[in-house]
Amino acid sequence: MTIENISINKSFGGWHKQYTHQSKTLNCDMRFAIYLPPLASNKQKVPVLYWLSGLTCTDENFMHKAGAFRMAAELGIAIVAPDTSPRGTEVPNDDGYDLGQGAGFYVNATQAPWNRHYQMYDYVVNELPALIEDTFPVLNKRAISGHSMGGHGALTIAMLNPEKYSSVSAFSPICNPINCPWGQKAFTAYLGDDKAKWKQHDASELMKQASTFVPAKVDQGQADNFLTEQLKPETLEAAATLSGYPLEYNLHEGYDHSYYFISSFIEQHLTFHAQHLNK
């Protein structure tokens, strides 16, 4: 597969690079970013953390704001950040920020007109890792993390594919999308009215039934404006208690939904993933 490098910047001895490529899964051009730590510059293969961003975001939000590169360089972890949805003039969109372009929700849409392009689950789980592992000096050791909508994506993808990921973490994830406005709007559009299908992409429902565990870490700000209506972390806590899931959940006083919160704790998340990637 041909990919095109569109930017490159040196950071903490490693390299941040942006690429575009033609995605067969999404039927459009896609952009992603990768941070390669110094070890990778010496052709030593390194493990990869996949980062999934939230509503309205692109690959740039995390890479520019999270402050992750110093610790990633020290730990020898590559970071890959895909876009949050398919893009382009031919790709269906919606007037709302919480549906369509910028709001792929990391599911495979089954409903028209979304189903031709909105196959973000397959893109993140299959196409993108295959491209990364074929192109860059990385191992097939993977961890996954994300924020808000991306936290939902990271948790559900890890639990649906426990053999593919060493660990999973999330900041302010949408924990129970079948019971919140963001999730209900997106799932109705992408998956239809059958709520049994919705449960297959609900982190709390999956964690409740889990029997194979991927170590999980979730951090949530107590001053998050979306905490009660949209995020519902108490449902994830209850599910972990029910199934005995190895979930580390931390609630932080005063922190909100922003990248100020993420940048405050991202190094702890990277250290958490390194412990499991290096086992």
C-alpha 79/C-alpha 192 separation (Å) is 33
* Contact of 102 with 55, CB cutoff 8 Å: yes
The H or E element that residue 250 is part of is strand 247-252
Write the CB contacts of 3 (distance below 8 Å, at least 6 apart in sequence).
19, 20, 21, 131, 135
Q: What is the model's pTM?
A: 0.97
Residue positions annotated with a catalytic role: 148, 224, 257
Q: What is the pLDDT along the chain (279 residues), one digit of tens a residue?
A: 689 999 999 999 999 999 999 999 999 999 999 999 999 987 799 999 999 999 999 999 999 999 999 999 999 999 999 999 999 999 999 999 999 999 999 999 999 999 999 999 999 999 999 999 999 999 999 999 999 999 999 999 999 999 999 999 999 999 999 999 999 999 999 999 999 999 999 999 999 999 999 999 999 999 999 999 999 999 999 999 999 999 999 999 999 999 999 999 999 999 999 999 998
Tallying the residues shown for the chain, one arrives at 279
Q: Is the four-CA dihedral 19, 94, 200, 57 of positive or negative sign? A: positive
